[in-house]
Amino acid sequence: MMRLPWFDYRAPRSIAEAAKILAGEGPQAMLIAGGTDLLPNMKRRHQTPKVLVSLKGIPELKKVSNGSGIVFGSGLTLSEILNIEKTPTALRQATAQIATAHLRNMGTLGGNLCLDTRCTYYNQNYEWRKAIDFCLKKDGATCWVATASKRCVAVSSTDTAPALIALNASVVLTGSSGEREIPVDALYRNDGIEYLSRRPDEILTAIKIPQKNFKSTYWKLRRRGSFDFPILGVAVALRFSSGNIIQDARVALGAVASRPFLVEKASEYLKGKALSDDVIAEACAMIASRAKPMDNTDMDLYWRKEVADDFAGYALRELRGDDMRAMRMRIARQELTG
Ligand SMILES: Cc1cc2nc3c(=O)[nH]c(=O)nc-3n(C[C@H](O)[C@H](O)[C@H](O)COP(=O)(O)OP(=O)(O)OC[C@H]3O[C@@H](n4cnc5c(N)ncnc54)[C@H](O)[C@@H]3O)c2cc1C
């Protein structure tokens, strides 16, 4: 049995109190929301904070507000996000495919956005990692995926981040010295260790989605259709004019680098066009060319790169109005294999 290391537990009642504790305790403290990622990581000794600052008892983090867009408190659980009527489609589809119902009842949207990066050589117990002299991400000096690499290439595995990037969402980060708002895209860095631009004393307090009549969708590749981390995520949000011409487009990829990111070239290319088969094929080639998966997660690396083109096509065809339900079922039934 893997046991948790000892830690002190703090339970603040407001964001201000949590920020004060975090600033006072310094790097030995970590935030905990649902704990569905952090506690298994602590059991495997990936993270060994001396102090856990719980966000569970902070009512401000549970708020939802509607105006010209929608604002979600970061402490809403994934199940709660699914129960909110105005949750945009791409976010709903991404959230519904995270883990299992039990984990979605505990896991939060904020925790999902701050999820640790993953790698075959890292997501192992302490003894396994020790047997290979650890790895660059934790306790070692070598990246076993790319041995010449000075940078850790662990992969971003959050499902909601690409969906939120496509939806042009931003996050609010609150620290003891104030608050700032940045696009979700800017929350991430392409570094498996320092994967967030969040400062250590900051709490991700809210997620803001400007609703601008976008039609959106999220397509996820994973080994098991029942539950599994993504090994490819394609999110697309499009705004159409009355003549079905694309006025605004945002395409984002997840799980193919250490950060989720906006595919700028394809997003720009789609603007002003109708979704003909030729336009879809051209956009898919642009999207797939940006997918650079590494050999550090499930399924064959080259196959995962190849299917990025297919998945982008499924997303665009669905937004064109094609009936893609049979393809979604095939993916859920694991009929695609690499
Ligand atoms: C079996 C299993 C399957 C899973 N499958 C998936 C999957 O398919 N897709 C997926 O995306 N995830 C998956 N997860 C991971 C996890 O369950 C979810 O990502 C969940 O949303 C994490 O949220 P949490 O509140 O539990 O985060 P926690 O575990 O509490 O925290 C995660 C990290 O975020 C930080 N953090 C939490 N809240 C904040 C905040 N408000 N501000 C700043 N930092 C914060 C913590 O310090 C920690 O570093 C899976 C987990 C398990 C155990």
What's phi and psi for 10, nearest 5 deg? -115, 140
C-alpha dihedral over 47, 128, 293, 313, to 10 degrees?
A: -90
Q: Where in the chain is the domain with CATH 3.30.390.50?
A: 215-332
Q: Where are the beta strands (DSSP E) in 281-338?
A: none
The Cα 241–Cα 180 span in angstroms is: 33
107-164 pLDDT, tens per residue? 999 999 999 999 999 999 999 999 999 999 999 999 999 999 999 999 999 999 999 9
Give the pLDDT mean for 23-51.
Answer: 97
The DSSP call for residue 116 is: P
In what helix (H) or strand (E) does residue 79 lie, and over which residues does it extend? helix 78-82
What pLDDT was estimated at residue 333?
86
Question: What radius of gyration do the chain's Cα atoms show?
Answer: 20
Task: Write the class of the CATH domain 215-332.
Answer: alpha beta
What phi, psi does 117 have (nearest 5°)?
-75, 160
pLDDT of residue 327 exceeding 80: yes
Q: Which atom of ligand 1 is nearest to the CA of 160?
A: 11
- Amino acid sitting at position 123: N
Averaged pLDDT of the chain:
96
CA 242 – CA 236 distance, rounded (Å): 19
Angle, helix 301-320 to helix 277-289, in steps of 10 degrees: 140
- 25, 60, 103, best to mutate for ligand 1 pocket (most atoms within 8 Å of CB): 103
Mean pLDDT on 269-276: 98
- 303-320 per-position pLDDT tens digit: 998 999 999 999 999 999
Give the residue from 200, 188, 36 showing the smallest Cα distance to 117. 188
Assigned architecture for domain 59-115+155-209:
2-Layer Sandwich (3.30)
- Taking residue 226's Cβ as centre, other Cβ atoms within 10 Å add up to 9
Separation of first and last alpha carbons in the chain: 33
Enter the tokens of residue 178.
């104030």
Give the whole-angstrom CA distance, residue 245 versus residue 333.
Answer: 34
Using the mean position of ligand 1's atoms as its centre, give its distance from the Cα of residue 214 in Å: 27
- Whole-angstrom distance, CA of residue 156 vs CA of residue 176: 28
334 CA from centroid of ligand 1 (Å): 25
Bridge-based pairing state of the strands 29-32 and 51-54: parallel
pLDDT at 335 over 80: no
Hey, how many other C-beta atoms are within 10 angstroms of the C-beta on 302? 11
Q: How far is the CA of 58 from the centre of ligand 1 (A)?
A: 18
What are phi and psi for residue 34, nearest 5 degrees?
-80, -25
Query: Looking at residue 198, what is its pLDDT?
Result: 97
**Tens digits of residue pLDDT in 199-253:** 999 999 999 999 778 999 999 999 888 889 999 999 999 999 988 999 999 999 9
Contacts of 250 (CB under 8 A, 6+ apart): 165, 166, 167, 168, 214, 236, 237, 238, 262, 267
Asked which of 100-104, 280-284, 298-302 is least confident by mean pLDDT, the reply is 298-302
Ligand 1 center to 324 CA (angstroms): 30
Q: Which residue among 15, 25, 31, 37 has the greatest number of ligand 1 atoms within 8 angstroms of its CB, and so is best to mutate?
A: 37
- Tell which residue, 125, 122, 115, 127, has the closest CA to residue 145: 122
Opening angle at CA 198, ends 195 and 199, nearest 5: 115
Amino acid at 9: Y
Q: Report how far apart, in Å, the C-alpha atoms of 219 and of each of 21, 97, 179, 307 are.
A: 39, 10, 33, 11
Count of CB atoms situated within 10 Å of the CB of 5: 11
CA 46 to CA 116: how far, in whole Å? 10
Q: Where in the chain is the domain with CATH 3.30.465.10?
A: 59-115+155-209
Q: How confident is the model at residue 336 (pLDDT cuts 50, 70, 90)?
A: confident
Q: Which amino acid, one-letter code, is at 42? A: M
Classified as helix, coil or strand, 85 is: coil
Mode of pairing for the β-strands spanning 261-262 and 246-254: antiparallel
Please tell me if the CB atom of residue 30 comes closer than 6 angstroms to any atom of ligand 1: yes
pLDDT score, position 338: 63
Instruction: Compute the distance between CA of residue 82 and CA of residue 157 in angstroms, rounded to an integer.
Output: 19
Q: What's the token pair of residue 50?
A: 């001396």
